[in-house]
Amino acid sequence: MGRRGADPEDAALFAEDRVATLRTATAELSWLLSRGYAEASATELVGNRHALRRRQRDAVRRSAAADDALADRAARRRDPHAIAGEPIAIDGFNCLITLEAALAGAPIFRGRDGAVRDIASVHGNWRAVDTTERALACLADALVRLNVGPTRWYLDRPVSRSAELARTIDRLGAARSLQWQTEVVFDPDGALAIGTELVATADAGVLDRCGPWFDLVSHVLPFDVPDAWCLQLA
């Protein structure tokens, strides 16, 4: 079993003396996105300007947001302490992978919209790592702590071992007598976008399409990973 930890170069790439540059790059990319520039070309422009490495560019790209997207997300963001009893839809891999990374000591990033994201390179090939079981337990604890209603996990069918993960989640739910179920679907983003439940995700593509949302991982961190390597790039 592997781990979702930091890259050997992360200590240098995200050192304290680099954070100011990354914040500037995030602000510049957000400015370009707000004026209609395509994300790929704008990221390349900003990345080249600041001589950013690939993982730094990923962090900046995931932390940036156009002004209109930022305002729209803020209007739909819910306080996790005021969602008791509500049905929840969880963007499974999004929440799990970010928490796996945080628990393994990898850098995670709080973006312009306040949501926390990772830069783990999974690319459709997820597998359980050293922090998977603990991450799932932390997420379960958080849902109990928030006293949410029926919970539905969505997992990407095209991602490797998604069915295996679904069985693990179902076993955890049954062991804790939790009111939840897991669905493995080809398009979880689409399901989350059209559903009526409150969505737990930090995926920008989902956030710009779904209804009310909250950042479940942000709620977990102070309780279970208070020493997480979380960099504020906004």
Domain for residue 17, yes or no?
yes
In a domain, 204, yes or no: yes
In a domain, 1, yes or no: no
Domain that holds residue 216: 10-232
206 occurs within a structural domain: yes
pLDDT score recorded for residue 3: 62
Could you tell me how many residues make up the chain?
234
Q: Which pLDDT belongs to residue 125?
A: 85
Task: Give how far Cα 131 sits from Cα of 2, 153, 180, Å.
Answer: 9, 19, 22
- Residue 141: CB atoms within 10 A of its CB come to 14
> Could you tell me which residues are beta bridge partners of residue 2?
129
For the beta sheet containing 108-110, the strands, ordered from the edge strand earlier in sequence to the opposite edge, are 116-117, 108-110, 230-232
First-to-last alpha carbon distance for the chain, in angstroms, is 34
In 7-161, which ranges are continuous DSSP H helix? 10-13, 16-34, 39-49, 54-63, 67-76, 92-103, 132-146
Round to whole Å and give the CA distance between 115 and 155: 20
Q: How far apart are CA 62 and CA 199, in angstroms?
A: 19
In a domain, 2, yes or no: no
**Does residue 142 form part of some domain?**
yes
Asked whether the beta carbons of 212 and 102 are under 8 A apart, the reply is no
What is the three-state SS of 161-206? CHHHHHHHHHHHHHHCCCCEEEEEECCHHHHHHHCCCEEECCCHHH
pLDDT in tens, the chain (234 residues): 456 789 999 999 999 999 999 999 999 999 999 999 999 999 999 999 999 999 999 999 999 999 999 999 999 999 999 999 999 999 999 999 999 999 999 999 999 999 999 998 777 789 999 999 999 999 999 999 999 999 999 999 999 999 999 999 999 999 999 999 999 999 999 999 999 999 999 999 999 999 999 999 999 999 999 999 999 999
Our count of domains for the chain comes to 1
Q: Does some domain include residue 5?
A: no
Bridge pairing between strands 116-117 and 108-110: antiparallel
pTM of the model: 0.96
